[in-house]
Amino acid sequence: MDYQGILREIAHEIQPLLGQGAVADYIPPLATEDPNRFGMAVRLLDGSEFVAGEADHPFSIQSVSKVFRLALAMDIHGDGIWRRVGREASGTAFNSLVQLETERGIPRNPMISAGALVTMDAILQPGGQRDPGIAFIQRCLDGQPVAYDDGVADAELATTHRNRALAHLLKSFGNLNNDPEDVIAAHTRESAVTLSCRDLCRAGAFLVTGGLTPAGSRVTEARQAKRINAIMLTSGVYDEAGDYAYRVGLPAKSGVGGGVLAVMPGQFTVCVWSPGLNPKGNSLAGTMALELFTTMTGVSVF
């Protein structure tokens, strides 16, 4: 397969879409991102990598972090985590409040904001690390330093009224153990981690290899990796999951920074970044790039 040629072709074909999406403006520093930027990387099971555009430019991973957070929560709590959060598609926007009230404080899944606040609460152990989620991403990268942008984290923390509402609603239903403010602060820090497309392809390698990092160290069990991929497929792109399965055909997780990590178990990770978002909150050009990738390679989980 001529992956390099395919990426070159995709980078060319998505040009007209650049700038069409809207950058996330509810987190002030993200509002200044240039929607014309684009990067893409592919990492195969054998470690070979192919890139196009700004594949080495670090961006705010935002909700892509929810995949790593879930992996750690499943590792710590096993099936116990599923008493606190569901495994069904939400059919709602990532930051919606309505379902949480009617479903009495049990978020539909760990990929929407409410569910990710629960998984953050679950990994914050009394007397434990300040940022266990970030430390886990670092483990997935075999110790490569992972940092968050404190300007992005502070700006989100100052304006995150919706997440505050969700966290306090969760607390009112008895589904947060920690102080809501501590959970929100840790959530904003992990969301503000900056990684490039190439980094994310490496960090997500454990989803392709059945739980092993690029250097071969185990970060989760093979059956857990399989389950995380299932949840990415049904919930990773919020209420666009059906369209993603139809157009892209890979488990994927997006973030409002414009990144999307997608996985073909046993074969490759592919990551795209372009800050312009579609109305569902997923990268507009990035989604098309993924669709073109599975079309041109002829590979999808289906």
Point out which residues bind ligand GLN (CB under 6 A).
62-63, 94-95, 113, 156, 163, 191, 255-256, 281
Instruction: Indicate the residue among 95 and 294 with the shorter CB distance to ligand GLN.
Output: 95
The least CB distance from residue 203 to ligand GLN, in Å, is 16
> β-strands 259-264, 268-273: how paired?
antiparallel
The least CB distance from residue 275 to ligand GLN, in Å, is 12
Distance of alpha carbon 112 from alpha carbon 163, whole angstroms: 11
The least CB distance from residue 162 to ligand GLN, in Å, is 7
- Which residue of the chain is nearest ligand GLN when measured via CB? 63
The least CB distance from residue 210 to ligand GLN, in Å, is 27
Instruction: Indicate the residue among 68 and 268 with the shorter CB distance to ligand GLN.
Output: 68
Instruction: Indicate the residue among 281 and 286 with the shorter CB distance to ligand GLN.
Output: 281
The least CB distance from residue 79 to ligand GLN, in Å, is 26
The least CB distance from residue 192 to ligand GLN, in Å, is 8
Bridge partners of 271, per DSSP, are 41, 261
Instruction: Indicate the residue among 39 and 236 with the shorter CB distance to ligand GLN.
Output: 236
Instruction: Indicate the residue among 255 and 286 with the shorter CB distance to ligand GLN.
Output: 255
User: Tokens 């709602």 belong to which residue?
Assistant: 92
Distance of alpha carbon 224 from alpha carbon 70, whole angstroms: 10
Residue 148 token pair: 């968050």
Bridge partners of 260, per DSSP, are 254, 272
Burial class (CB in 10 A: 0-12, 13-18, 19+), 176: buried
Contacts of 119 (CB under 8 A, 6+ apart): 66, 69, 70, 72, 73, 81, 85, 110
Instruction: Indicate the residue among 148 and 293 with the shorter CB distance to ligand GLN.
Output: 148
> β-strands 252-254, 259-264: how paired?
antiparallel
* Cα pseudo-dihedral 105, 106, 110, 114, rounded to 10: -10
The least CB distance from residue 283 to ligand GLN, in Å, is 11
Instruction: Indicate the residue among 130 and 218 with the shorter CB distance to ligand GLN.
Output: 130
Kindly state the DSSP code that residue 33 receives in the 8-state scheme. S
The least CB distance from residue 37 to ligand GLN, in Å, is 17
- Name the nearest CA neighbour of 110 among 203, 235, 223: 235
Instruction: Indicate the residue among 35 and 265 with the shorter CB distance to ligand GLN.
Output: 35
Check if the beta carbon of residue 187 is closer than 8 Å to that of residue 117: yes
